[in-house]
Structure 1
C-alpha cells in the first residue's frame, strides 16, 4: 500500500522542464496578439474621428520643403534656402498656435454641451483628439526649432504668438465693414417693415 502511494507521488512529480516554458510562450503569444489587435482597433477608431479643423496647409508646405532640404540627391541650387524653411516653420507655428487657442476658447463650451447632453460622444471625441493632436504638433515644432539652432524656440514662439495675435486683429478689422453693412441692412429692414404695414 505504501509502495503504491510512493509510486503515485513519484509519477505526479515528474513534469517536463518544457511545460512551464511552453505555458509562458503561449501566454506571451496571446498577450502580443491581443496588444497588436487592441492597437489596430484604436488606430481604426482614431482614423474614423473627423478633425474639427480643415487640412493644415502650412504644415504640409513645411514638410515638403523639409523633405527637399534633407534630400541628398538634390543639388544646392535646387534645395530651398534655410531662411525659406524657417519662414515655413514660422507659418506652421502660427497656425498651430491659432488652432490651440481656438480649442482652449471652445473647450469649456464643449464640456458644458456634453454634460447637458446637447452633443454626443463622437463630437466630444473629436475635441479630445484635436487637443492631443495640437499638443503633438507643438512638440514637433519645438523639436524642429531646436534642430536649426539650440535655444531658438525661446524667441521663436513669442514671435509666432505675436504674428498670430496681429493676424487675428487684422481679420477682425477687415470684417468690421461687412458687419456694419449687414447690420445697417437689417436695421433698414426693421425700420421699413412697420411703416409698410401702417401704409397698408
Structure 2
C-alpha cells in the first residue's frame, strides 16, 4: 500500500504542474498588446503642454489649441464612422480576426472619451461652448479640405498646362519638319524637271 502512495503523489504533482503551466501558457499567448488605431494625438499633447506651462498662456491661445484638438477629434470620429461598416462586414465574413476588431473597439471608446474631455474643457472657458465647439471644428475641417482641393486643382491645372504647351511645341515642330520636307521635295522635283529639259 505504501509503495503505491509515493507514485500516486508524484503523478498527481506532475498533473497539477502541467495543468498550471498549461493555464499560464494559454493566458500568456492570448494576451496581445492593443495596437493603436491612430497615431499619437499631437493636438491633444500640445493643448496639455500649454495648460501645464510654468508661465501662464493667454486664454485665446488655449482656446485655439482646444479648437485644434476638437478638429482632430472630429477627423478621427469621421474616420471611425466611415471604417466601421466595412470592418463589421469583414468581421461577419471572417476576413479579419478578433484582435483587429478589438483594437477598433478600443479606438472607438478612446474617441468617445476624447470628445467628452473636449466638451468638458470647452465648458471651462465659456458656458455651453462644449455644445458648439464640434460644429465649429467640423466647419474648419471642411474649409481646410476645400482649401487643399483648390491647391490640388491649381497644381493639376499647372501640370495640364505644361503638358498642353509641350504638345503644342511638338505639333509646331512636327508641322515645321513636314513643311521643310515638302519644300525639299518640291525643290528636288524642280531640279529633276530642269535636268530633263
Q: Sort the TM-score into its range (normalised by shorter chain).
A: 0.5 to 0.7
Deviation at 1:177, TM superposition (A): 6.5
Contact 2:119 2:131 in 1 (8 A): no
User: 2:108 & 2:66 partners in 1: Cα distance?
Assistant: 20
Matches within 5 A, 1:23-34: none
Root-mean-square deviation (CA, aligned residues, Å) is: 2.5
- Larger radius of gyration, structure 1 or 2? 2
Hey, what does 2:66 align to over in structure 1? 89
After TM superposition, the score normalised by the length of structure 2 is: 0.59
User: 2:38 & 2:95 partners in 1: Cα distance?
Assistant: 21
User: 1:151 & 1:95 partners in 2: Cα distance?
Assistant: 20
Aligned partner of residue 150 in structure 1, secondary structure: coil
Hey, what does 1:60 align to over in structure 2? 45
Matches within 5 A, 1:4-83: 48-68=33-53, 74=54, 78-83=55-60
Structure 2 gaps of 5+ residues are 1-26, 164-197
Residues 85 and 52 from structure 1, CA distance in 2 versus in 1: closer, same or farther, beyond 3 angstroms? same
Aligned partner of residue 170 in structure 1, secondary structure: helix
User: 1:160 & 1:117 partners in 2: Cα distance?
Assistant: 37
User: 2:38 & 2:155 partners in 1: Cα distance?
Assistant: 24
User: 1:174 & 1:120 partners in 2: Cα distance?
Assistant: 40
Structure 1 gaps of 5+ residues are 1-40, 69-73, 186-200
Deviation at 1:156, TM superposition (A): 2.1
Task: Tell me, yes or no, if structure 1 residue 115 matches structure 2 residue 92.
Answer: yes
After TM superposition, the score normalised by the length of structure 1 is: 0.59
Residues 114 and 90 from structure 1, CA distance in 2 versus in 1: closer, same or farther, beyond 3 angstroms? same
Aligned length: 131
User: 2:89 & 2:139 partners in 1: Cα distance?
Assistant: 30
